[in-house]
Amino acid sequence: MAQGAIENRISEVLYSEEVIQARVRELGEKIASDYSTGGSACDAEGRPPMLICILQGALVFLADLVRQIPTEVEFDFICVASYGNGTSPGAVRFIKDLERPIEGRDALLVEDIIDTGHTIRYLMRSFAARKPASLRVCTLLDKVARRETSVGIDYTGFVLKQDRFIVGYGMDYAELYRNLPYIAVLKPEYIR
Ligand code: PRP
């Protein structure tokens, strides 16, 4: 792999930093508004919504999103991995689970991208069993062309109609490029 500035490996920027930040601001305001009553997003017991970041990809999105929510929020992290071949599609194992329970809480799963839909569908079922007061999904990107199972998405940043391999803003190729501030397509010579 060549060294140097990673932006030289980009063939096309699909969503610029400015476009992403503007959309994240809108999502933050919408989430704050939806969860708020009487100027507070806390429930009757004084607990704010719990945003659940699905590592690694959603890290960058979560970090920007929470700073655009002008009301109380908490956040926590999970990390999952797929079981691979021979198991039911989307079945995942938890590498890292939440630090705190979500029973009775307003929980919002935060994804960078929903592709086939299997991961988020599995996680919705898994977290619903923990009996949160509400359970919603927010994704920066909805790659509808790849959907294999129906999922309800409450907040979507952008709908990606084409099936293109993208990197940046949390998304990787071989664990690289997550730190690009925009979402882009790699030049073919940098995809092995
Ligand atoms: C990506 C993304 C979602 C999942 C979506 O994670 O962050 O969690 O794939 O795919 P699906 O809709 O087909 O199930 P990935 O497995 O690439 O891990 P990462 O977040 O660590 O990059």
Residues with CB under 6 A from ligand 1: 54, 56-57, 90, 111-119, 172
Residue 147: enclosing H or E segment and its boundaries?
none
Residue 4's pLDDT is 77
Among 109, 90, 113, CA closest to 167: 113
Nearest CA to ligand 1 atom 14: 119
Kindly give the distance from the C-alpha atom of residue 13 to the centroid of ligand 1, in angstroms, as a whole number.
20
Amino acid at 158: F
Amino acid at 60: V
Residue 87's pLDDT is 61
Catalytic residue among 115, 142, 163, 172: 115
**Residues 36-61 as b or e (16 or more Cβ within 10 Å = b):** beeeebbbeeeebbbbbbbeebbbbb
Amino acid at 85: N
- Per residue of the chain (192 residues), give pLDDT as tens: 555 799 999 999 999 999 999 999 999 999 999 999 888 899 889 899 999 999 999 999 999 999 999 999 999 999 999 876 666 666 789 999 999 999 999 999 999 999 999 999 999 999 999 999 999 999 999 999 999 999 999 999 999 988 999 999 999 999 999 999 999 999 999 998
Residue 144's pLDDT is 94
Work out which ligand 1 atom sits closest to the CA atom of 114: 12
Residue 2's pLDDT is 52
Residue 82's pLDDT is 82
Coil, strand or helix at 46: coil
Residue whose entry in the numeric block shows the structure tokens 């790849």: 146
Nearest CA to ligand 1 atom 15: 57
Q: What angle do CA 51, 56, 19 make, to 5 degrees?
A: 75
Half-sphere exposure of 182 (CA within 13 A, CB side): 15
